Structure formats: C-alpha cells, structure tokens
Structure 1
Amino acid sequence: MQLCSERYTETRRGSSIKRLRVCLLLPAIVLSLVVSSVSHAGNQKEEAIADSVRLALAKVIADPRPPKPSFDKIEERIKYLHWLGEMSDRLTRRIPDRQTRLELLETIWYESKRAGLEPAMVMGLMQVESGFKKYATSIVGARGYMQVMPFWSRVIGDGDPKKLFHMQTNLRYGCSILRMYIDMEGGNLYLALGRYNGSRGRPEYPNAVLANWKNWEFKG
C-alpha cells in the first residue's frame, strides 16, 4: 500500500487523476477487498463552519427547482441523452425499475453539475456509500444514497432528518457538502473525500471511490 500527500483536484481530469492512480496504488487483490468492505459512511464529523459558508449552503439546500437540466446547445443535450441511456443500462442490475433509474440519473447529473462535480465521481461515491440504496442507513446514522449525517439537516436545512431519504434532497446535501469539503481542502480531493467519510488522511476511502468512479466514466 502506498500513501501520497500530493495535491490534486477533481476538475483537471487528465494528469491530476493519473497522479492519483500512482500515489494511491494498491495491489489488485487488496483493492478488491477495500472496495467490498467500504460500504457504509464513516463517522462524518460535525465541525465549525463559517456563518457565510453555512448560509450559502442553506440557500442551496432550500432552492426548490426540480432537477431538470437545460442546455444552450443541441449537441450538449444529445451528449446528455447518450450519457443517460448508457448509465441507465449500467445501473439496471442495481435498480431494475426504469422510471426510478432515470429519475435518479437525472438528479445525479443535475446536482453534480450544480456543485461543480463529475457525475461519474458522485456515482462512484454513491456506490461505495450506499450501493445505490435509497433507504440505506449506516451504523452511525448516515442516511440515503450519499449517506448524509442527520446533523446536517439541523446545520443547513429545516431540521427534519427524515427528508434525507428524499432523492433530490439527499443528493443536494451530499454534493453540496462534498463541494464545501473540496473548497476547504484547497482542491485536494483525497483529503476532501476522507473528510466526507470521517476518515481524513487514510487511503482506504479515496481508493474505493476512485475504483468505483471508473465504473461510471462516460467516453461519449
């Protein structure tokens, strides 16, 4: 196992992700064990955040707009539809109902892009956190697709943790919180993912998300 502290961002997909693969390299058999064992959220910490950040997150969470993407160019819409079809095919085994699958994928795309995240990375995180189970609940109480801790509903929401099982609400919380952690860590995705999982500085969780990220990459 090799641990690297090199900084990288999730937005520069080329050389920075190649560095991540080198720095966090694990033997294949060990990596497979890590991926299979990391299936629930860690004990994500409640920590002090600036009032300006808290208010900005609360504003994002409260936005009532439905997850319907819009496109300036027809080519962008065509690419999105190709992505939607391909991801739906890949997700069929996990979510057999087509309507549920498409609604989830629309929401993943919308909330990921809204937060400036790669949809494939968010789907990799969801696979690790919940296995795409809407009502997943971890032993420490994290809820839903992105395993959001209930305290977030009090810190930036309306105080009702039951809403974390709502599809769009859960993804909006999860994507917004991860975006905040990436910004807090100066773009260091390795540390941001660890903070999201409550295991900052340890390699297992970032490795697992990276391995599953590759399952959802779209080449179209």
Structure 2
Amino acid sequence: MLSALTGACGLAASPGAHAGAQVEEPLADAVRSALAAAIANSAPPKPVFETTEARLAYLRWLGEMSTRLKKRKSDHVTRVEFLETVWYESKRAGLEPALVLGLVQVESGFRKYAISSAGARGYMQVMPFWARLIGGGNTLGLFHMQTNLRFGCVILRHYLDIERGDLFMALGRYNGSRGRPEYPNLVFGARKAWEYKPAAVGA
C-alpha cells in the first residue's frame, strides 16, 4: 500500500523541502543503542492524563490546532490523527508541540511524502541514513506518519542533548547548517503560529 501511494505521489524532490544536509556523524555504540531503543518503542500515540483538567486542556489544544491546520489538511480525521501524533511524539521526546509543528511547517509544509533534493523524507525530512543507523534500514517506513515524527523528534532531542540544550545550535545540526542563523530563525518564526496559550478560567 505504501509503495503504491508513494508511487502515485511521485518520489521526485519536492520544492520547498528544507532539510537534507544533515551530517552523518559516527555514533558511539551506547548512543546508537539508546536511539534505536527510543525509535523501537511502539507505544501508541494515545495520551493518558492524571486529571480531568489535564485532559480538557489537551482537548482544547487539539481543537485550536485543528482549526489552525485546516487550510493545510482539510480532512478532519487525518488532521486530528496527525496532531495527536505530533503531541504524543513531541512530549515523549521532551519537546514543545509548537516547536515540532513549526519545524514540520518549515521542513515539508505538512506534506507527508515530501522529499528533499538530498533525499530527506516525510514530514520532518528525515535522512535515510538514520533508518540504517537506528531503524533497521527500512527507508520507505520514513513515509509512515508516526515513524517519521518519532524519528524527527528523537533526532532533534539527540542534537539538543549534544548541544547541551542550545536549541539554536541543535536546529542548525538538524538542518546541516550548524552555527548559521537562517534555518533556526525560520523554525522560530514558524513556531509562533503554533504557540498556544489557554484562556484563563472564567475569562
């Protein structure tokens, strides 16, 4: 099914796909094992909440983000599934959902089958070498929504750890332009469109 869909969508480079210059760096065995374990955990993207208020806050976020994303993803079910997965995978990796949505906007324009000129794939423009290093080598799997978002979030978390929490430098690594401002500034700008501030109770 996936091969038919990708064939129908065309596996040519997509205009506007940003990533693809990520540098393949040697990974220590312990780091490779940790990243592979983070990718392999197949827990479903269904959040569990300790309180009713936490669940209601999530549902309000989901409704607001769905409204904002409607012009880019018109099908309601597809849009909600995408947002649920972004929320789950970003929280799992210790990232802000707004940051991940901003990165997806810059990287692929929310196109599931986007491919950069260097071969980076999917929503978060994951380079195929990551599938070989930590994902069992299945590069077609990078077009699967949850797989792509999980890889992207785990990779960005890895870069954040390397850069000791410096998001500017981590985003540069993600794009293969470490130390240059253009790409991080694009992501920071896009993130603003996805920031969410809950209305005060009783306001």
TM-score (norm: length of structure 1): 0.82
Query: Which residue of 116, 119, 125 corresponds with 2:94?
Result: 116
2:38 is aligned with 1:60: yes
2:182 is aligned with 1:204: yes
How many angstroms apart in 2 are the aligned matches of 1:118 and 1:78?
Answer: 18
Alignment coverage as a number of residue pairs? 184
Secondary structure, counterpart of 1:121 in structure 2: helix
2:134 is aligned with 1:134: no
- CA deviation profile, 1:18-66 (whole Å, cap 9, x unmatched): xxxxxxxxxxxxxxxxxxx974214111001221111011011111111
What value does the CA root-mean-square deviation take over the aligned residues? 1.1
How many angstroms apart in 2 are the aligned matches of 1:116 and 1:42?
Answer: 24
Match of 1:70 in 2: 48
Where does 1:38-187 land on structure 2 (aligned, <5 Å)?
39-187=17-165
Match of 1:10 in 2: none
Amino acid at match of 1:179: R
How many angstroms apart in 1 are the aligned matches of 2:51 and 2:61?
Answer: 16
Mind listing any 5+ residue stretches in structure 2 that lack a counterpart? 1-14, 199-203
Identity of paired residues, percent?
66
Amino acid at match of 1:169: T
**Deviation of 1:113 (Å):** 0.2
Amino acid at match of 1:116: G
How many angstroms apart in 1 are the aligned matches of 2:61 and 2:115?
Answer: 29
- CA deviation profile, 1:156-206 (whole Å, cap 9, x unmatched): 001110000000000000000000000000111111000000000100000
Contact 1:146 1:174 in 2 (8 A): yes
Mind listing any 5+ residue stretches in structure 1 that lack a counterpart? 1-36
Q: Which runs of 4+ in 1 moved over 3 A?
A: none
Contact 2:17 2:125 in 1 (8 A): no
